[in-house]
A and B are shown apart, each in its own frame.
Chain A
Amino acid sequence: MSHTSAISPESVTSSPLGYDARPETVIVADQRDGWWQALREVLSYRELFWALTLRDLKVRYKQTALGIAWVVLQPLFTGGVLALIFSRFRSGQDAGAIEAMLFYLAALVPWNSFAQGVYSASVCMESEANLISKVYFPRIIVPTARVLASSVDFGITIVVLLLAALFTGYFTWGLLLAIPGLLLIQMLSACGIGYLVGILNAQYRDVKYVIPFLLQSGLLVSVLLSLEDWPAWLQPWLRFNPMAAVIETYRALVSHQPIDWPLVALGTMVSILLFVFGAWVFRRRETYLADVL
């Protein structure tokens, strides 16, 4: 839609001299930026990225006594409860309490951050409607900042997992090495799904009622049980879930099992596809965002 060659402080002077040298922005009806220009524009707004991410983080735990400690306590409590109640329902597993706790913690740490990112991205257009209808910036920043903020939670809780693995003697260096790659899969999927549901929710508010239900189902499918606990005919389909790749890999690492590499490769592919598809849909619909909000 536009051609913004630069939005840089260098171009700002208080005198109108040399005005013709200013970068010219052209907005033509029914014309969209190329991907490359759009990307450059997003990058020129990178400071807004951090400002919005930081705001989400600061606001979330303001006026709580325990503050950021909640991030740590949530997976610990949930993991403890799940380990107590559900581990005995998993077929063919007779592992001890420590192993059960690690099994759930390894799933909850990435899943909570993923679910938080997707959920907050799904409602972000609605909750930032005031912002979007009053000031221009590349809209994709809003859901991306939400996912980034949820990844900061991940950064804290993963330390809990690492410490737990360390104290129980299940720590491997592979676990540490796997984190960046797995985080990337997780964030790409969260962004892709977040873009898709966020932009759809702007117009069809039904989406935000569907998302919590889907996330809950996801928790059931990929956190409560491991992939191999499912019936064999269902497993090939469940492997398309990119979070299954993330969770199964963490689980394999904390239980010293071999990593399912085909699953990781599939997860990487699916997450990239999700990201591209989400961004594509988002860009198609963002033009008239302010009109439908």
Chain B
Amino acid sequence: MSNSSSSRSSNQASSSLTLLAQEEEGHAMKSESPTTLEAASPQPWAIRLEEIGKRYKLGGVKKPNNNLREDLMKVGNRLKFWQTSSRPKVQRGEFWALKDISLEIPVGQVMGILGANGAGKSTLLKVLSRITRPTTGTLRYRGRLASLLEVGTGFHRELTGRENIFLNGSLLGMRQAEIHQELDAIVEFAGVDKFLETPVKHYSSGMYVRLAFAVAAHLKTDILVVDEVLAVGDTHFQKKCLGKMREVAQDGRTVLFVSHNLSAIRQLCHQAILLEQGRLVKSGSVEACMQEYLPQRQTLEQNFSLNPGEPGLRRVRLCQEKRHLVVDLETQFLDASSNPFPELILHDSHGMPLLGTNPNVNPWQNGGDPESQHLRCRLDFSQFRSGEYRLSVHFATSQKGKIRHDQVLVFPWENELTPGHLRPSGQFGPCLPQASWERMPELDEEWTSDLKKKAI
């Protein structure tokens, strides 16, 4: 994921598109998933992006390009003047959240979108779902498109479950008749039949989320754009959601799917694209994109570039100290009140999550230097076999939501009890439980005497 790859992609994109053109280049994945390719190539496209770009102005409002806007801006600035007169009037820089994205998504494909924080995934979804308009390029799609960027859009606390189903459904583009038709299925899926006439403010958070997802899951649109909605609910419900998503996919509908749950992307998606700093750097099979997205070589230290004042992680470092993993996080959280809660997640070498630290622990108030931005976590990892593991670092912040650094480090783990195993054996799994064995007196006298007779 270096500069070379992104410059390559821009050449590709400007020379004009498509998934198929790029697939030829990434022949590695061709051998991995020939079936999806065969299925993909003869299908007509459902979504087609032609050199889509989206520009944002940093710290400023859009520059007017006609007289009326100019006038209104002047009025606006005058109004602003007496409220916040100290605000600088300078237009700062601009940045392209998306640049030259050209892509065709065939009908019936489930496409995963991969990329780090700020790579442009959410902006792409917003452009696709028409929430915001691209600055350059053309977007075409065929059929009805619904976007599910958030679970429970438009839900109102004071309204009952039934009222919210209808409101949310019509916001997502369903007809009243359709919702009537699906009502029983929705209620059953969410498991809230007893509380249908109760205002949702009395719902438990689990019920709320289940109901919200259920409405969206019963949308019957040709194209569905989904952003990180599986990150809700309990495990049982998440499984149900995944199942529903799979059903949608098998229906022959086109799905675009963003998730930080990489195993969900693996399970659901046929193909994937990888975004990096607003550019399309790879499209092809899920595996090929993941390989480019996640570091493959072992790294014990990662640095991240942050703007001055931007909250986030600056550096993560890891080392083994006998039976413990020691993780050092150098952060940049200047606003002490935000108290971002850190969370470490350990994955096996395939990226399956194994364990995570308790995200409800606030380490900032554990004493120590109140000025320091350096956190250290010592984690007992002695119950894992020797092998290669991966580490993700998340921060739950109040202003920026969750800051995620998925599988940033790939590290070797040496357990003295299982020397020499470089990879955790698939046969045993990665865990090495503390098990004690003893030789015990016979349980069944008769059986052993039989055995002895036979031996004679």
Contacts and interface: CB of A to CB of B under 8 A. Distances in A.
B143 A135 contact: no
Interface of A: 1-2, 7, 9, 11-12, 14-16, 19-20, 22-29, 47-48, 51-52, 54-55, 58-59, 62-63, 130-137, 200, 203-204, 206-207, 210, 281, 284-285, 287-288, 290-292
B332 interface: no
Given A25-B142, A27-B133, 10 more contacts: A1-B133, A20-B44, A25-B141, A25-B145, A48-B170, A130-B150, A134-B147, A134-B153, A135-B131, A281-B72
Interface in B120-156: 126, 129-145, 147, 149-150, 153-154, 156
Contact of A9 (B170, B175, B252): B175
Interface string B157-193: 0110001001100111101111000000000000000
A137 B137 CA distance: 21
Interface stretch (B76-84, B233-241, B377-385, B425-433): B76-84
Contact of B144 (A11, A16, A137, A203): A11
Contacts of B130: 1-2, 27, 136
A29 B143 contact: no
Contacts of A11: 143-144, 222
B220 interface: yes
Interface stretch (B12-20, B61-69, B402-410): B61-69
B171 A51 contact: yes
A19 B222 CA distance: 9
Contacts of A281: 68, 72
Given A9-B175, A12-B221, A58 B132 contact: no
A291 B62 contact: yes
A19 B46 contact: yes
A22 B171 contact: no
Given A135-B171, A290-B126, A29 B137 contact: yes
A136 B131 CA distance: 5
B304 interface: no
**Contact-residue bracket for chain B:** 35 or more
20 contacts: A12-B144, A16-B43, A19-B43, A19-B142, A28-B139, A29-B137, A47-B170, A47-B176, A58-B159, A62-B199, A63-B158, A130-B150, A133-B131, A134-B131, A134-B153, A137-B173, A203-B61, A204-B79, A287-B133, A288-B132
Contacts of A51: 166-167, 170-171
B367 to A, nearest CB: 39
Q: Which 9 pairs show the lowest CB-CB distances between chains A and B?
A: A22-B143, A136-B130, A16-B252, A22-B142, A206-B79, A51-B170, A62-B158, A204-B76, A27-B139
User: Quick one: which of A28, A135, A284 has the most chain B CB within 10 A?
Assistant: A135
Contact of A206 (B83, B135, B138, B199): B83
Contact of A7 (B76, B173, B252): B173
Nearest to A204: B76
B109 to A, nearest CB: 10
Interface of B: 43-44, 46, 53, 56, 61-62, 68-69, 72, 76, 79-80, 83, 107-108, 126, 129-145, 147, 149-150, 153-154, 156, 158-159, 163, 166-167, 170-173, 175-178, 199, 220-222, 251-253
A41 to B, nearest CB: 11
A81 B43 CA distance: 72
Contacts of A29: 53, 133-138
Contacts of B53: 29
A11 B144 CA distance: 8
A135 B219 CA distance: 14
Contacts of B252: 14-16
A290 B131 contact: yes
B38 to A, nearest CB: 15
A94 B79 CA distance: 44
A60 B132 CA distance: 30
A58 B178 contact: no
A16 B253 CA distance: 7
B170 A59 contact: no
Contacts of A28: 137-139
Contacts of A134: 131, 147, 149-150, 153
Nearest to A17: B252
Contacts of B166: 51
A132 B130 CA distance: 10
Given A20-B142, A29-B136, A281-B68, A132 B131 contact: yes
B80 A206 contact: yes
Given A14-B252, A15-B252, A291-B62, A131 B153 contact: yes
Nearest to B69: A284
B107 A16 contact: yes
A153 B75 CA distance: 34
Contacts of A137: 171, 173
Nearest to A287: B133
Nearest to A131: B154
A143 to B, nearest CB: 16
Given A16-B43, A19-B142, A9 B159 contact: no
B177 A9 contact: yes
A253 B452 CA distance: 116
Contacts of B173: 7, 137
A151 B395 CA distance: 47
A290 B44 CA distance: 31
A284 B68 CA distance: 9
B203 to A, nearest CB: 15
A14 B167 CA distance: 24
Contacts of A284: 68-69
A24 B149 contact: no
Contacts of B44: 19-20
User: Quick one: which of A20, A136, A291, A292 has the most chain B CB within 10 A?
Assistant: A136
B18 to A, nearest CB: 17
A2 B139 CA distance: 9
A7 B219 CA distance: 13
A55 B167 contact: yes
A292 B133 contact: no
B122 to A, nearest CB: 10
A204 B87 CA distance: 14
Nearest to B127: A27
A58 B147 contact: no
B141 to A, nearest CB: 5
A48 B108 contact: no
A24 B140 contact: yes
Contacts of A7: 144, 173
Contact of A291 (B108, B132, B141, B143): B132
